[in-house]
Every structure is written in structure tokens, then in C-alpha cells.
Amino acid sequence: MTDLNVRQRSPLQLPISDAAALAAQQVLEQLGSSPAGLSGDEAARRLAELGPNAVRTHRANGWAVLGRQFASPILILLLITAGLSLFLGDATNSIVIGVILLVSVGLGFTNEFRAERASEALHDRVTHRAVVLRGGTTREVDVTALVPGDVVHLSLGAIIPADIRLLTASGLLCDESILTGESLPAAKDPAPVPAGAALADLASCVFMGTVIQSGSCTGVVVATGGRAEFGRIALGLGERQPQTEFQLGLKRFSFLLLQVAIVLTTLIFIANLLLQRPLIESLLFSLAIAVGITPQLLPAVVSTSLATGTRQLARRKVLVKRLVCIEDLGDMDILVTDKTGTLTEGRISFTGALPVAPETSDGGLLTLGLLATEADYAEAKLSSAGQNPLDAALWDSPGAAAFDAARFERLDLIGFDHQRRRTTVLVREAGGRPRLVTKGAPEDVLALCGPTPPAVQAMLDEQFDAGSRVVAVAARDAAGLVQLTPADERGLSLAGFLVFLDKPKANARESLDRLEALGISVKIATGDNAKVAEKVCDDVGVISGGTLTGAEVDALSDAALAASARTATIFARVSPEQKARIITLLRQSGGSVGFMGDGVNDALALHKADIGISVDSATDVAKDAADVVLLDKDLGVLAEGVMEGRRIFANTIKYVLMGTSSNFGNMFSAATASVVLSFLPMLPGQILLNNLLYDAGQLAIPGDRVDREQLRAPSHWNIAFIRRFMFLFGPISSLFDFATFALMLFAFDAVPGEFRAGWFIESIATQTLIIFAIRTRRVPFLRSRPSAGLVAASLGVVALGVYLPLSPLQGLLGFDPLPVPFFLALLGMIAVYLVLVEIAKRWFFSRAAQTLPAGPVAVRRRPDTHHLSRRAFRFSAPVRVRPRRRLRVRPRRRQRATIQA
């Protein structure tokens, strides 16, 4: 057989449908592997040959960032105008517009690329691990290091890291909705399926990107990266990301400006033609008006703001998966969080065993608790990989050192799930009879043990009142039982309680105070007992608005639960589905809801929230579902992120309000004057130069101070508000433009060059200095101080605007010298203008129309691509994801003859 044919029969080319139809041992042989997995050297060789198990790269791509800069409708308008000006022979206009484009694109590219580099560095610190057998030894490796032939262990909540053929499975159910759209979990079993079965019928395989909903399994990797089913879909999406509310608002605002620009320029062009002005001159002037009415550097200001925020958050160890998620973070006004690691230290320790049965000792109860874990007894002492926090604490306890794994044989296991809330094992001690042992939530285990004696209930309540986490252990003889089903969990005898402690955080109260000052109401959703949650909240000074248990949540209608959820502070003993329902109803009642979680049972709620927040130490499924990952689980860090998001939005809106009102006023003045005067009030190049200077001075806005009251509540895009602001303050600007026109024509009898110079200076001064009034609702300077950078930039632009018409460049720019009395009159007009703007501002913001409407807001719906993009985040490498390649295999000896036949 040729080498080409060998490559075609390589492990990489074994289709998952073929693997599903073969026996498990045959699949291992075809993949050149064994039940002990690959050797370390062979795995390294395959990884070098294939590349990482990734479907996208998180390496910053300069060309992609540069291409995104031209996606703004504003910049597209500039490009079209520059092209038309060049075509019409106006090189000056083309050069000025070109400079504007270079400044906008250059600043946007520089800031966004720097932000992506910072995000790339943080991304490398968030790891997603898989438990794999290499040379017969269990170890954890990054999911991107998996290769075909690796044998992996997977348990409840794991995201399947590749397309895998099952070797063993116990009670395995997988959520495959991301691939099949089917909401019900799919049952899995290692038995081969008939050849030619459809993807949804491959019960002997599990697929990359799907989630284990219950049970556990061992399997061999068949396909990785873009060769996996999920990988093909993710690669088909490319690098496109679904748009956030901030991006959609920015797009709506850009289209508003385009509509105003098109209407105004069309009317000006028609009016100038009716006045029998030259066609080319009229067209160029109209194009200059179109450019002048738009805030050309808005994309640069937005990217500068986001990049600044990203760098600030990076210093605080906050990874934002996408830059624009910072805006969503600032939008949050309700935070639902678990208590572990946020209100508590997140370090769970085993504090003691409380036997109930007379024949059970402390050590015996601990042994039963160790038996009822999903971990392999022989491996559990050596590594906590794959264990839940309570089991890990149990195995780390001093008493676990005396556990002799060789004394016991596990016959069967029913793993933990969030409906049963317990783990059950069938074990046999050497020379003894089989015994069934159950460990789980006290309420659920006690229900299997018959009536609870008052003394036992009092013992349990005492631990709950102390804030301890309690796990109940029960057992019974199981003679003749060889395989477990949930129906076998009955007739148990309570052995006792295992007690754990997770101390409240010392700084929890301070962090909660900071969130409260930001107008964020914090709610606790936990699978723990209500009394434990209430005790922890009481210890950190949380004033509870009430507690809802999972049973009470199920009993309430959607309308009743929505009302109760707004006031309740604690949701206890809630299932993943109940958490997701609560999040959905909170959003429908008008809140912008963030959810912070790190467990398997938090994934559904993270997906439903407006902003999903997790931590680096979280389970894979939780990190996958989050938009923001905290490298340090601290509500104080989260408060910093919220403040940064709100500061960015506030500064962006400052630029928008200032740019639209001033530009609209100036262009309205220019349009009116062009119809009344016998000459153009300002040449097209002068209009563009005016806007370039003005916009350049506003690049300091992203670093400006923000008033405290602007951080107390989230702000939202409100196009109607922006339109009202523009139509009030724009005409005020025009009034002083008309006053300048009158001054130049009637007081100084100005020729066109003088007229244009006077208006150029007045326009630069008024529209630049108005930022100090618009940037705050307070009295400028006295009660709200701008940043030093903004003051310097604004005054510098005004100085340059005054200098240019008086400089040696005045002739080239089309200006004539101005008389000295003009500048004295100008100072008076500017003072009156700023006072009038301040009066108008107070009247404008005092009107009820400027407040956001009360009541429910539209529910934000995330498209399927949002979930796919989130899931693909974990299958990401800091290198370019290469196209599919074939791997030349070194088959195992038993298979070599078949391949060479």
C-alpha cells in the first residue's frame, strides 16, 4: 500500500460515525491507542503534527482589527465623500477628509489592538482542563492539548472536549442541544450502534461542545478541533461575534446621523442649484455639510474608551471575553450570585462527623462518606481532579489518610445530579455482603429513611443555624443486588451527618456596600439550605428582603414569581432550571440582570443572564457560559468592572451629545447662510478643517472624570433623548452663529475672507468650550471638575483655531485678517452663549421627558450564535488555527497487517 493510502487510513481520518459502529476495542486499535491511553511522546508527536484542539485563535490579529475600523457608517460616509471630492477635482477636501480618516482609523486601530493584546495575555491565564490517561497515569491537561487516541475521564457538568467514542459509561445523559437543537438530554451507552446511523442516533459517542447532564464516562478521542462536529460549525461562523446592546445602540445612532445628513445635504444642494450656483461648488459644499454634521471620530472615541477600560480591568485581573461586554457590565442593576467564594472564602473544609446510628463511629461515618464519592478510591487521595468541592474537602481531611481502598470493591454507582441531589454507590467490603450507601442533601436523604426523630432534626437544625454545610449519609444491606437504579434508593438507615464550613469573607460587607452605592441590588441563589444561606447573609450584614425555597418557586406562577423575585434576597435549594427561570423573570420585569456563578448548576442561569460572570477556578461549563471571567473571585473587583463600564458609557455619551448638538447647529447655520448670502459662508475645506480640529480636541474625553451620580445607575442608549438634545442645543448654537454673521456683515462690513475667518473662530470657540457645560449636569468647574487632559486639549484647540486665520497659512486656507474689536465682541458672545446653554441645560434636564420610562423594558434575546461563540471560547489557542491536516500513523502491531493489506 502507498504512503498516501496509509494516511487515508490514519486515526485522524476515522469518521465518528464509523467509530460509533465499531466495538470499543476495535476503535482503540484503529486509533493506535489502548485503555491506558497514549504515551506522552506519542501524544506530543500527534499534537505537533495536528496542531491544538482549537476552533479559533485568541491571538490578536492586526489585519482583522484594521478591517473592523471601516465597519462604521460614519467612516463609510467619509470614504464616499473623499472619493467624490477627488473625482470632482477638489484635492484640498480630499486631503482634509483623508487626514480625518487616518486619525480616526489610526486611533481606533491602535487602541483596539492594544486592548486585544491585553485580552490575549489574560486569555492565556484562563485554563480549561481535561482528565486524561497518558501512559496509564491520570493527569490533567489543557483541552487544546488533546489528540486522537487520548483516553479521557468525564463527569457531571463537563463540556465534552472533543468527539469521543465511549469505552465505559454510568448513567450518562448529555445535553446535545447546541448541535441537534433537541432540548431533552440524550442517553449514552458504549454499545456499538448500527452502521449508517444519523448524528443524533450515535448513542455510543459524545460530541465536542456538548455537556454531561448526569453520570460519568471514559472514552477515547476520535476527532479534535475543526474535524469535530462542533468544530466544523464553529469554523463556519468565522470570527464574527453577535452584537451587544451597546453595539446595536451605536448602530442606531449612526443611522440617525446618516438620515439627518442626507436630508440636510439634499435640501442644501437643491437650494444652491435653484439659486443658480455652480454645480460642482454646490455639490462639494453639500458633501462638506454631510461630513460636518457627523462626529467623525466617534469610532475612535468609542474604541479608545473601551481600550482604556480593558486595560483598567486587566490590572484588576478581570478578563472580558469581548471589549463591548464592558458596556453590558456597566448596564447591570441586579446581580444574582452564589454565596460560595463571593460572600464566603470559598475554601470548604471538613470539620467533623456526627454519627446518628449507635453502631456507627466517627471514623465509620467518614468511611461511608468516602465510599459514596464518584472518584476512584485509589486515585482520590493523590489528586482532587474531577472532584466536587465537598468530596475534595472530605478526601483532604486527616481522617481520610486511614482509608484503605483495597478493603472495598465498588460494584455500581449512580452519580450526583441536581434533581436527586445525592450520590449512591453499591460496595462490598472484602469478604462481606454488598451494601448500598447514599450521600447527599439532608432533606433528600432523610426522605429515604422514614420518619426523622426530633433529636436528629434538632441536631441538623443546630448545624444549619451555625451556618455549616451538612451532608447526610445513609446505608442499608443490599444482598443480591448487582446493579443500581434510582428505585433502589429506599428503606435506608441514617448513619449521620458530615459537617463542612466555609467562612464568610472579611471584606464581603465592603464589597456589598460598593455594589449598593452603584444601585445594584444583590440576590443570593444557592443550592444550600435556606438557614445556612440566611446565616451567612446575616454574618456579612445583608438585610434580607425574604427567602424563597425551590419548592416555593415551583408553586408560584410566572407573574407571582416575578413580583416575589424582585423583593426576595435569597433563593435557597434552587435547581439549575429554577435559577434560570428566576433570571428570565427578573429580566422581563425590567432589570438588566447579571449572574455570577462557578458551578455546574449555574450554567443555565449564566446563559439566560444579560451578563454572565464566572471565575477562573470555576467548572468548565460555568466559565464557558460567562461573558466575563474574574481571575480573583471578589465582588469588589466586580464593582470596579461595573464602574468602568458606566464611566465608559458616560464619556461616550458626552461626545455624542456635544458632537451632535454642535455639529447640527453649525451645519444648520451654514445651510441657512448659503441660501441667504451671495457667497458660501465657509468653504468646504474650511468646514472639514473646523471639524477636524474640534474632534481632535475631544479625544481626551475617554479619560475625563465622571460625576458620582452618573455611576449610581446604568445608562442606556436613548435615541429619542439624543434627538431632543440635538434639536434644542443645536439651534442655540445657531443663534450665536447668526449673531456672528450680523456682526461681520453690519458692524465690520466684512468681505468673504473676513466673514469666513470670523465664523471659523467663533464656531471653534463655542462648540469646543460647550463640552464643559455638556459633560455634567452640575455647575461646571465649581461642582464638577473636568480632567486636566480635557481642559488642556480644549483650550489648545481654541488657541489653534484662533491662530490659523491669523497665521501665514491664512491665504492658503482662504481667510483674511480680522479687526481687533471682533475678538472683544467674541469674548462677550462666548460668555453669553455659555450662560444661555447652562440655563437651557437646567430646563432640559428638569423636564419629565428626559427620565427613562418606568416599567418593563424589552427582553433581550440572545441568538444561537451567541451560545456557539461562548462555547467556542474554550477551544481557543494563542496560535493561528491551521486547516485540517492528515496524520501519518504508527499503527499498533495488531493493526499493522490490516492497514498494509
Which residues are catalytically annotated?
338
C-alpha grid cell, residue 369: 462518606
Tell me the C-alpha to C-alpha distance, in Å, between residue 253 and each of 245, 260, 518, 658, 731: 12, 11, 27, 14, 20
List 422's β-bridge partners, or say none: 440
Closest CA to 745 of 732, 759, 760: 759
Phi, psi of 344 (to 5 degrees): -115, 170
Q: Looking at this protein, which amino acid is placed at residue 707?
A: D
- Cα–Cα distance for residue pair 269/860, rounded to 1 Å: 41
Closest CA to 752 of 809, 676, 679, 675: 679
Question: For the chain, how far is it from start to end, CA to CA, in angstroms?
Answer: 7
- Cα–Cα distance for residue pair 872/861, rounded to 1 Å: 20
| 3-class state of residue 410 by DSSP | strand
- Cα–Cα distance for residue pair 334/733, rounded to 1 Å: 40
**Cβ-Cβ contacts under 8 Å for 270 (sequence gap 6 or more):** none
The alpha helices in 344-471, defined as continuous H runs, are: 362-371, 377-380, 389-396, 442-446, 454-465
Closest CA to 665 of 833, 847, 842: 833
The alpha helices in 13-57, defined as continuous H runs, are: 16-21, 24-30, 40-50
DSSP at 784? B
Closest CA to 290 of 255, 263, 252, 254: 263
**Cβ-Cβ contacts under 8 Å for 125 (sequence gap 6 or more):** 319, 616, 631
| 3-class state of residue 214 by DSSP | strand
For CA atoms 613, 615, 616, 618, the dihedral sign is negative
DSSP at 882? P
- Cα–Cα distance for residue pair 348/768, rounded to 1 Å: 58
Rounded to 10 degrees, the C-alpha dihedral 507/508/511/515 comes to -170
The Cβ-side half-sphere exposure at 327, using a 13 Å CA radius, reads 24
